Amino acid sequence: MLLVRSGLFALCQWAATLIFGPLSLLTLPFPYRFRYQFITLWTHFNLRCLKKICRLDYRVEGIENIPQRNAIILCKHQSAWETLALQKIFPPQVWVLKRELLWIPFLGWGLAMLDPIAIDRKAGRRALQQIVEQGTQRLNTGRWVVIFPEGARMAPGVKGRYAIGGALLAEKSGYPVVPVAHNAGEFWPRNSLLKYPGVIRVVIGPLIESKDKSAAEINALAENWIETTQRELSARS
């Protein structure tokens, strides 16, 4: 039944993608907030299907740590699940992502309509400059910026190198950082069709102010909190 439920969810997800992809193009003339509200209906649909079909739900802790002003989210990356859930948990946002994702038919079209910061990972310093410049512009328009500092998805218990881009954006823009940890990889493993039933725990950490802090300090604070919380989540599983 696990395989059947997971397969049914995959069919529903791709059917929704085939519908919302072309429709998202029609939202181009409208303001960002309208585009965001319409296109993220796809996200809400997927999360509802996960709950109904795969019996996979989630619980958020630390909601009180979400500030009134917009900020930069530095989040652990374990699966595709958090790319959906962050849209439901936090206000309208844009993501730093690899530009190749925009080339995917249907899915990439929807992403492109949401003004992401699409970078070339091989560009080095130019990619960092793009994150800072475009990220600051998005933040100044009231949007949140989501960054997965490890870049690639990591299996539970595995820690990647925390890139400096998100912390550098915080230092240069003056916006604070909200660290996020979760154990989604234990239920929706990376590169796997299977979705295991249960309740994913998401923990939102205390705000990290960027004033009078270097990018290295901000990055270290976020990394230490996220990885410490990840170990606690694994211990309770």
pLDDT of residue 51: 97
Q: Residue 60 sits in which domain range? A: 2-236
How confident is the model at residue 237, as a pLDDT? 61
Up-side HSE of residue 190: CA atoms within 13 Å toward CB?
Answer: 14
Q: Which residues contact 227 (CB under 8 A, 6 or more apart)?
A: 159
> What sign results for the dihedral spanned by CA atoms 124, 127, 129, 132?
negative
pLDDT (tens digit per residue) in 126-149: 999 999 999 999 999 999 999 999
Per-residue pLDDT 10s for the chain (237 aa) are 999 999 999 999 999 999 988 898 899 899 999 999 999 999 999 999 999 999 999 999 999 999 999 999 999 999 999 999 999 999 999 999 988 888 888 888 888 888 999 988 777 789 999 999 999 999 999 999 999 999 889 999 999 999 999 999 999 999 999 999 999 999 999 989 999 999 999 999 999 999 999 999 999 999 999 999 999 998 776
Collapsing DSSP to helix, strand or coil, 147 comes out as strand
Picking from 162, 163, 160, the residue whose alpha carbon sits closest to that of residue 132 is 163
pLDDT tens, 105-114? 888 888 888 8
CATH number at residue 56: 3.40.1130
231, HSE (Cβ side, Cα atoms, 13 Å):
6
Number of domains in the chain: 1
